[in-house]
Amino acid sequence: MSEWKTVCRLEEIPQLGARRVQRPLGPQVAIFRTADDRIYALLDRCPHKGGPLSQGIVFGDSVACPLHNWTIRLDSGEAVAPDEGCTGKFSVRVEEGCVLLNQYELDTVGIGLLPVQAGPCTRAC
């Protein structure tokens, strides 16, 4: 049996926007709300360069990464062609106005990913 964790209320996620959920390990989770109030959750990390998807533009069932405009499907986490790649997705439930995420997935999906860092510095000052 899966445990579910309440992470916020539906109205705390702006329509066509996102909210982030902190985890003790691994990248944050981005929770998205579409214009018709469907809720999706993905790792807050674009598969291209690790951009924060929670800061992207939500349109239809997709989000545009704010760094390089890759389009990521909210229902699968997959990049839309011609781009390739995917980010982790999470099961979501909405009950009585509360948004819940699967606790097992929160504890395991993407935990081994290293934090995104700025580009390399190749010479000393």
Second CATH level (architecture) for the domain 4-108: 3-layer Sandwich (2.102)
Confidence at 119, pLDDT banded by 50, 70, 90: low
In angstroms, rounded to a whole number, what is the distance separating the alpha carbons of residues 63 and 55? 9
Predicted pLDDT of residue 90:
98
Q: How do the domains of the chain map onto residue ranges?
A: 4-108
Lowest mean pLDDT across 1-10, 56-65, 76-85, 102-111: 1-10
pLDDT 10s digits, 54-71: 999 999 999 999 999 999
Give dist(CA 5, CA 66) in Å, integer.
28
Does residue 30 or residue 119 have the better pLDDT? 30
Q: Quickly list DSSP for the chain.
A: ---EEEEEEGGGS-TTEEEEE--SSSS-EEEEE-TT--EEEEESS-TTT---GGGSEEETTEEE-TTT--EEETTT-BBPTTS--B--EE-EEEETTEEEEEHHHHHHTTTTPPPP-PPP--S--
In contact, 48 and 63? CB cutoff 8 Å: no
- Give the per-residue pLDDT at 115: 66
pLDDT tens-digit readout, 77-97 = 999 999 999 999 999 999 999
pLDDT at 99 over 90: yes
